[in-house]
Amino acid sequence: MLSMPELPEPVLNANAETVLGKRYYRRDEHGKPVEDGKGLFWRVASAVAGEEKKYAASAWTADDLALAFYDLMTSWKFLPNSPTLMNAGTELGQLSACFVLPVGDSIEEIFDAVKFAAMIHKSGGGTGFSFSRLRPRASRVGTTGGVASGPVSFMRIFNTATEQIKQGGTRRGANMGILRIDHPDILEFIRAKEKDGEFNNFNLSVGLTEAFMEAVERDEDYALISPHTGTEHGRLRAREVFDLLVSRAWLSGDPGIVFLDRINRDNPTPAQGEIESTNPCGEQPLLPFEACNLGSINLARFYDPSGTETGARGGIDWNELKRGVRLAVRFLDNVIDASRFPLPQISERVRRNRKIGLGIMGWADLLYQLRIPYDSDAALALAERVMALVRDTGREASAQLAEERGPFPAWEESILPARGLPPLRNATITTIAPTGTLSIIAGCSSGIEPLFALSFARNVMDGERLVEVNPYFEEALRERDLFSADRMARVTESGSIHNMDDLPPELRRVFVTAMDINPIWHLRMQAAFQQFTDNAVSKTVNLPHDATEEDIRSVYLMAYREGCKGVTVYRDGCKASQVLTTGTAGASAASPAAAPAATPVRKRPDFMTGFTQKVQTGLGAMYLTVNEIDGKPFEVFATIGKSGHSVTAKAEAIGRLVSLALRSGVAVQDIVGQLKGIGGEHPLFQSGGLLLSIPDAIARVLEARYMHGALAGSHCSSLEGQHCPECGEPLVFQEGCHRCPSCGYTKCG
């Protein structure tokens, strides 16, 4: 590390100080921090700049470059990904956030991947996997004569292993799991997160192909392919599978989708193989055993109040933005040299391709300063202009590095020379990554996301709650003499000013939040940035609670048509643990409530009438008898198969428990809510859609008879907030992760 000169102290906001103190500062053997903000940022700047000494033709000295890097970071114009902040200049020295590991179709390869993932998680990285090479469930295993258990069963092993590993004492392991849409076990994969808590260390995405999407649009069947034989393993109706994807996303937000063909068209080094997976949040497609280090430019710091070329107020300092991009590209390329990777296979591939991922954050804050509404054509046009500059300037900087240091070793075998590009130091340059924790440190909005709330309360010492207001919103209110304690209390309660008629319409139009914005504008913004991004864009399309499946279907189809490489949707309140973002509901939900009085079980009369309905399930014909009193269900009998079979026993048990619930006064819609959507081993397509299991079949009969087909409030009925385990504040869901805007806690998966 270079010796520290006289340096200005970085100005840390209260949230940044909390986050850095908890997760980033180096500690002694007793767990006490041994550095402050200045020490951290000099450690990082000097360690990364020190790599410059390797290159005699460099335009910089290591000392001058370290000062430039320190200034770039402590002015909050740029920050690298968290592993770089945590580990640069330390013995661990693992500086990359994103890794993809192969999962082969053998026990040895599968458990090698588990071991490798554990090593990466321990070093501070996240891992992506494609499970598409694994043979489907019930396939023959030639070496043993047994049968395979399929990808989903092995994913549980990865999930359990991840649970046991704390990343370097600072970050919990996160994974991406991908399965191709044409894998025979795709239906089981789509339903893998139906049970709350399953695969809690995974984000899941289905790898869609253009052939599948064309079959959806033409309403045709498509083939399932066994990966170990390459032969057809059955056919499914594409539109029904697509509808199931939409339904699962509506219910829980999982799985997301990625467009594999589109990703591989942009694979710069196809001679090295096909891209099968991405990192945990989906923005970084990578080859097996490849890694990438990321960093983000904070656009809010490039606002120029004297500018006149953009927006209703001011503009952008374009020259300073170019300077920041050039420095950031040099920084990220040096990180590759400085990083010590956990596996030799990763070291070899990373240094062969030298991928970096420079993105942006503070986009919503920049729009607020310019007084441009997020959901407007002006914002889309500016997004394209900004990202085009980042891409083009980034390529110029990478070309300059190639002149000084040589292009990345795989340059000649890449597709980039054929695209007319000059020799580049890096196979990819731009990525728009999640910046949840980084944006807290920098005091800006996250990635390209709109703000989730204009004002929120956070817990501080001794139980005190401190209200934090977006500074640009507060400035706008004070300019008009509209700032007041009463008004801010109302904003903090709702998070939004969308319905506050006592504020000027132009303010309500500009200061929109995530839930104020029509979902299509979320998607259009993602597509605008994707046009000028080498890799992919991390973005969540947030939808209100009353959004329909048709809304999600429209988002998915638009993502395909607009050139996105993937998309994640999240309908507010769609998980069993409702994610609250503002207000005081979370506090009341956490308070213990008195236990309700027990409801007596009604006795069964000797004579009852009802009906019996035959339902064809994947396990055979089920006969469901429902007896009624006064037109309401009182008891249920489910019969399937021969007496003594386990399936018959399970059906009888479900019927008895449903009967007990009905006789105890439980509403039929609550029973339907618990049973509907439960997955089983043998789903069956019917005219009403995909019937998943015996309990799902019982729910459908009860729903059709007593609820007139209305959807029960099952997975989405709870209004209890999911709160941060560290500070107690409500979590928000953005960029594929639950994160705490107060203390920086994040949980992906």
Alpha-carbon gap, residue 16 to 441, rounded angstroms: 4
Count of beta carbons in the 10 Å neighbourhood of residue 636:
23
Alpha-carbon gap, residue 209 to 112, rounded angstroms: 28
Domain boundary assignment for the chain: 102-138+147-257, 445-591, 609-706
pLDDT given for residue 384 in this prediction: 98
Q: Report phi then psi at 241, rounded to 5.
A: -70, -40
Give the closest residue to 569 by CA, choosing from 590, 545, 591: 545
* CA 501 to each of CA 83, 476, 484: distance values in angstroms, whole numbers, following the listed order: 45, 16, 15
pLDDT given for residue 642 in this prediction: 66
The residues near 675 (Cβ < 8 Å, ≥ 6 apart) are 654, 658, 695, 696, 698, 699, 702
Asked if 281 is an active-site residue, the reply is: yes
Asked if 444 is an active-site residue, the reply is: no
pLDDT given for residue 685 in this prediction: 65
Give Dmax over CA atoms of the chain in angstroms. Answer: 96
CB 488 within 8 A of CB 455: yes
Alpha-carbon gap, residue 127 to 569, rounded angstroms: 21
Alpha-carbon gap, residue 49 to 64, rounded angstroms: 9
Side-chain half-sphere CA neighbours of 569 within 13 A: 32
113-152 pLDDT tens trace: 999 999 999 888 899 999 999 999 989 887 667 889 999 9
Tokens coding 743: 């203390």
Question: Got the DSSP string for 440-497?
Answer: HHHTS--TTPPPS-SEEEEE-GGG-EEEEE-HHHHHHHHHTT---HHHHHHHHHHS--
Alpha-carbon gap, residue 545 to 385, rounded angstroms: 33
Neighbour-count burial for 64-103, b at 16+ CB within 10 Å, e otherwise: ebbbbbbbbbbebbbbbbbbbbbbbbbebebbbbbbbbbb
* CA 246 to each of CA 299, 409, 543, 547, 555: distance values in angstroms, whole numbers, following the listed order: 34, 42, 13, 12, 10
Q: Report phi then psi at 717, rounded to 5.
A: -85, -25
At 339, is the secondary structure helix, strand, or coil? coil
Catalytic residue, candidates 81, 203, 279, 293? 279
Question: Got the DSSP string for 147-193?
Answer: B---HHHHHHHHHHHHHT-EETTTEE--EEEEEETTSTTHHHHHTTT
Which long-range CB contacts under 8 A does 217-222 form with residues at least 24 apart? 222/181, 222/182
Alpha-carbon gap, residue 737 to 197, rounded angstroms: 15
The residues near 649 (Cβ < 8 Å, ≥ 6 apart) are none
Alpha-carbon gap, residue 380 to 509, rounded angstroms: 16
Rg (CA), the chain: 27
Alpha-carbon gap, residue 436 to 393, rounded angstroms: 25
Alpha-carbon gap, residue 507 to 498, rounded angstroms: 9
Catalytic residue, candidates 51, 283, 290, 729? 283
Asked if 279 is an active-site residue, the reply is: yes
Q: Report phi then psi at 111, rounded to 5.
A: -80, -20
Alpha-carbon gap, residue 583 to 589, rounded angstroms: 12
pLDDT given for residue 589 in this prediction: 32
Helix H segments across 495-608?
Answer: 505-510, 519-530, 549-562, 585-589
Count of beta carbons in the 10 Å neighbourhood of residue 29:
6
Alpha-carbon gap, residue 466 to 587, rounded angstroms: 15
Q: Report phi then psi at 277, rounded to 5.
A: -150, 175
At 684, is the secondary structure helix, strand, or coil? strand
pLDDT given for residue 687 in this prediction: 60
pLDDT given for residue 465 in this prediction: 62
Q: Which amino acid is at 310?
A: T
Averaged pLDDT in 10-residue chunks for the chain of 749 residues: 88 90 91 95 98 95 97 98 95 94 96 95 91 94 81 94 66 86 97 83 96 97 97 96 95 93 98 96 97 97 85 88 98 98 96 98 97 96 98 98 98 97 98 93 96 78 66 96 92 92 96 94 97 96 92 96 95 56 36 44 84 86 89 89 76 90 87 81 66 86 75 33 63 75 66
pLDDT given for residue 230 in this prediction: 96
Alpha-carbon gap, residue 680 to 618, rounded angstroms: 9
User: Which residues lie across from 686 on neighbouring strands?
Assistant: 689
Burial (0-12, 13-18, 19+ Cβ within 10 Å), 234: exposed
Alpha-carbon gap, residue 332 to 96, rounded angstroms: 10
At 613, is the secondary structure helix, strand, or coil? strand
The residues near 554 (Cβ < 8 Å, ≥ 6 apart) are 519, 520
255 cis-preceded (ω within 30 degrees of 0) = yes
In the numeric block, the tokens 């980039």 are attached to 416
pLDDT given for residue 714 in this prediction: 34
Give the closest residue to 552 by CA, choosing from 313, 246, 296: 246
Catalytic residue, candidates 81, 267, 276, 281? 281
Q: Element (H or E) spanning 659, and its range?
A: helix 646-663
